Structure 1
Amino acid sequence: MKDLIKELQLKIEKLENEISFKNGLISILSHDSKELFGNFLWLIEAVEEKTISEEDFFKLLPQVKSDAQKNLQIVQDSTAWLKTQYGEFKIKPEKIMVMDLFHHFEEKYAVKLKEKNIKFHFKGDPNAFVTTDRLLLEYVLDKILNNALKYSFSGHDIHLQEVTEDHQVIISVIDFGTGMDEKYLSTVFTYGNPIFHGTAGEKGAGLSLKIVKNFVSLMHGNIEIFSSENTGTTVSLFLHKFIE
């Protein structure tokens, strides 16, 4: 009887988390989209009615561009999440070399790494592998690495670290950037966390980490974040080495 109650409690908790996630996603999409298009409409009307000078118009364009980029990221993240919600979604496990992931992101972020004078290093066994869904894992690591770059100081390195323990592989992204106060760590996966700006003024969409946690759960893994203000952040994924 106790086992049945415990199982029901876990199912209820899972459903509550899913409902909270979906409601938060809808809230972000509706609020940010309304704000963006409201700003677009105001700017267009101001130009049409000539209540704004050409000089002021061009001064506002960088902010409009930044808002548009943020909203585009929200749409892309939402689309990635929606793909896991249609029909009976099942992960497609495959053997993935961790070093291949490192080279993939080293190439993808080459320009941004150069812009911030940041070197990207691999630490661990070059022959290590993990068995999971490639699309989900690449999305998760992409968002974590993007945050690491965003909050890293110029000239500071970023590491992709692999540690294998029995049948578990721990993949960590380690940066030495702004970090965050310990009081914020418990809120990073919720909708109540503050939005931080990167070291070059980059603005976050406030959604990626929430989808990251959802995807890690789909991979039957765990995620942990360790951070210290002005020291850096380590985000670790705990995944299966073999198919269970």
Structure 2
Amino acid sequence: MKDLINELQLKNERLESEISFKNGLISMLSHDSKELFGNFLWIIEALEEKTISEEDFFNLLPQIKSDAQKNLQTIKDSTSWLKTQYGEFKIKPEKIIVMDLFHHFEEKYAAKLKEKNIKFHFKGDSNAFVTTDRLLLDYVLDKILDNAVKYSLPGQDIYLQEVTEGDQVILSVVDSGTGMAEKYVSTIFTYENPIFQGTSGEKGAGLSLKIVKNFVSLMRGNIQIISAENAGTTVSLFL
């Protein structure tokens, strides 16, 4: 009886978490879309009515472009999540060599890493592997690495670290970038967390890590974030 009650409580907590996530996502998409299109209409109407000069119009375009890129990323992230919610989506576990993952992201992020003069290293067993869904793991590591690059300063190093403990594989993305104060770490997966700019002014919507947590749960894993202000961040996946 006690086990049944605990199971029901766990299911109830998961349901409440999913409802909160979906409500927050809908609110974010609605707010950001209204803000972006509102700004588009305002700047076009202002130019038509000659309440701003052409020079001021063109000066505002970089900000409009930045906001549009942020909103496009939100839509892409939302689409990735929606694919796991409808139809016959099922986890497809397969053997994935960790070193292959490293080389994949090393190539994918080559331009960004070069732009910031950041070196990307692998630490661990080069023969290690993890058995999980490739698409979900690719998305999760992509978003974690993207944040590591975003919040690292030029010349700093980033590591993909692998540790195997029995049947569990721990994959960590370790950076020595700007990090964050401990009070923000506990809110990172909620819609209350603040949005920080990257070291080169990069902007995000703050949605990707919320989807990351959802995908890690689908993979039956756990995620841990350890961070300190001006001392870097370590994001670990326990798979």
TM-score > 0.5, shorter chain as reference: yes
Cα distance per residue 1:104-131 (max 9 Å; x no partner): 1111111100110000000011111000
Question: What is the aligned-residue RMSD (CA, Å)?
Answer: 0.6
Task: Provide the rounded CA distance (Å) in 1 between the counterparts of 2:78 and 2:193.
Answer: 19
Secondary structure of the 1:217 match is helix
Cα distance per residue 1:138-186 (max 9 Å; x no partner): 0000000000000001100100000011001000000010000001111
The equivalences for 1:5-154 within 5 A come to 5-154=5-154
Task: Provide the rounded CA distance (Å) in 2 between the counterparts of 1:66 and 1:209.
Answer: 20
Cα distance per residue 1:19-41 (max 9 Å; x no partner): 00100110110000110000001
Match of 1:182 in 2: 182
Pairing 1:197–2:197 present:
yes
Secondary structure of the 1:177 match is coil
Task: Provide the rounded CA distance (Å) in 1 between the counterparts of 2:206 and 2:27.
Answer: 12
Task: Provide the rounded CA distance (Å) in 1 between the counterparts of 2:119 and 2:112.
Answer: 10
Task: Provide the rounded CA distance (Å) in 1 between the counterparts of 2:119 and 2:173.
Answer: 13
Task: Provide the rounded CA distance (Å) in 2 between the counterparts of 1:185 and 1:37.
Answer: 32
Residue 9 of structure 1, CA deviation: 0.5
Task: Provide the rounded CA distance (Å) in 2 between the counterparts of 1:137 and 1:61.
Answer: 36
Residue 58 of structure 1, CA deviation: 1.2
Identity of aligned residues (%): 84
Secondary structure of the 2:102 match is helix
Task: Provide the rounded CA distance (Å) in 2 between the counterparts of 1:106 and 1:88.
Answer: 32
**Structure 2 gaps, min length 5:** none
Cα distance per residue 1:207-233 (max 9 Å; x no partner): 000000000000000000000100100
Task: Provide the rounded CA distance (Å) in 1 between the counterparts of 2:109 and 2:43.
Answer: 33
Residue 51 of structure 1, CA deviation: 1.1
Secondary structure of the 1:178 match is coil
**Structure 1 gaps, min length 5:** 240-244
Equivalent position amino acid for 2:171 in 1? I
Secondary structure of the 1:79 match is helix
Secondary structure of the 1:211 match is helix
Aligned length: 239
Moved over 6 A (4+): none
Secondary structure of the 2:153 match is coil
Residue 42 of structure 1, CA deviation: 0.4
Equivalent position amino acid for 2:114 in 1? K
Match of 1:242 in 2: none
Equivalent position amino acid for 1:137 in 2? L
User: What TM-score do you get using the length of structure 2 for normalisation?
Assistant: 0.99
Task: Provide the rounded CA distance (Å) in 1 between the counterparts of 2:204 and 2:69.
Answer: 10
User: What TM-score do you get using the length of structure 1 for normalisation?
Assistant: 0.97
Equivalent position amino acid for 1:210 in 2? K
